[in-house]
Amino acid sequence: MPTRTIPRRVLVLTAATLAVLPAAALTAPARAASAPPASAPPASAPPAATAGRAPAAPVRFVDLPESALPTDRAPHEITFMYRNDNRTDQTIAPQVLLESPDRGPYLSPSDFRLELLGTDGHWHTLPLGNQTGTLYTSLTPAKLVLHSGHTLTESYRLTVLHGPARGTVEPRIAIYA
């Protein structure tokens, strides 16, 4: 009888999404209700996603260009951009995945420090979740509303703390309905 294999990444992402569902359903988006940046035009009405409760799980992901994990122990900046080309505001959440090679060795959160450049100009350490060798940042606290025609630019700093690392850095954007 033929067997079917499910790619590890699909399995990991499905498990991670299901693990977040109960907490996300009970937790309001951390940044979705915040005021728009000073450069943003005032909104005439609140977007539908923030008028009530935002959906608990993303409806899709937009994969951004990936890169190889750094091989040294120096801090490396990773910057990516996502533009909302829709005619309406979007509730989104940026996420960074650190993907292990398919056959290992698997990555460990203790081997990395991932920091996000905050709006205050300081680097803030982000905790990394771990599922079958894929490390990831949490979606729930990263939720925000990106206005139509605006661009989100995220700057991260990744440092390998222990040993040489093999794998990829895969940034992406979670899109909520």
CA atoms within 13 A on the CB side of 145: 25
Across the range 138-160, mean pLDDT stands at 96
Residue 41 has pLDDT above 80, yes or no: no
Say if residue 128's pLDDT is above 90.
yes
| Cα gap 49→60, rounded to integer Å | 15
Q: What angle do CA 160, 165, 166 make, to 5 degrees?
A: 140
Whether this prediction's pTM lies above 0.85 is answered by: no
- Lookup result for tokens 């203790």: 110
Average of per-residue pLDDT across 66-82 = 93
- Average pLDDT across the chain, whole number: 77
Q: What is the H or E stretch that residue 115 is in?
A: strand 112-117
pLDDT bucket at 103, cuts 50 / 70 / 90? confident
CA dihedral of residues 13, 18, 20, 23 (deg, nearest 10): 180
24 phi and psi, to 5 degrees? Answer: -70, -35
pLDDT at 3: 38
Q: What is the DSSP letter of 113?
A: E
Identity of the residue numbered 25: A
Neighbouring CB atoms inside 10 A of 62's CB total 13
Determine the pLDDT at residue 56: 73
Please identify which residue in the block is written with the tokens 């995220």.
154
Q: Read off the pLDDT band of 137 (50, 70, 90).
A: very high
